[in-house]
Amino acid sequence: MSISTSDILNHISAIHTYSLAAYLRWTAPYFSPEQQEERDTLDVIIADQERTVDKIGAIIIDMREVVIGGEFPLDYTSYHDLGFDYLLGKLIENETEIIEKVTKCVNALPEDSEFRAVTEKVLGNDKAHLEMLQELQDGAATS
């Protein structure tokens, strides 16, 4: 059984819609006053993921397919009101999982597909997000 392009795109959309960063948008992680860079980084990742969801959703709709919803993992509820220092490790784990999943999706699309180019850009953004988070972690380790 082959997976359709819209299924693959829906999976990528769901991965970003229900990421840990997206969830934290609706919670209140604690940032110390000195953690403005950390707050800004999280905001950039959230905004990038929202743009990804919007772009992929528009492509799915243009294909005359349905954007499929989902839900956040239940274990995210245990992350309410925690400090960013703790959440940073969880965000790195989640971003690593996102990269693994999106890589599989990209590889499932034909190389000459117009959608593959879009998904490769998404994967590039995901890798940049991981790098940003790792730089924050490296900076915290040296402080």
- Give 142 or 96, the one with higher predicted confidence: 96
CB neighbours of 113 closer than 8 A, spacing ≥ 6? Answer: 5
pTM metric for this prediction: 0.93
Is the CB of residue 16 less than 8 Å from the CB of residue 68? no
| Residue 93 dihedral angles phi and psi, to the nearest 5° | -60, -45
- Convert the pLDDT of each residue in 126-143 to its tens digit: 999 999 999 999 987 666
- Of 105, 68, 87, 85, the closest CA to residue 23 belongs to 87
Question: What number of other Cβ atoms are within 10 A of residue 115's Cβ?
Answer: 20
Q: Residue 81 above 90 pLDDT?
A: no
Supply the pLDDT for residue 24: 96
* DSSP, res 78: G
- Convert the pLDDT of each residue in 29-52 to its tens digit: 999 999 999 999 999 999 999 999
What does pLDDT average to over the chain? Answer: 94
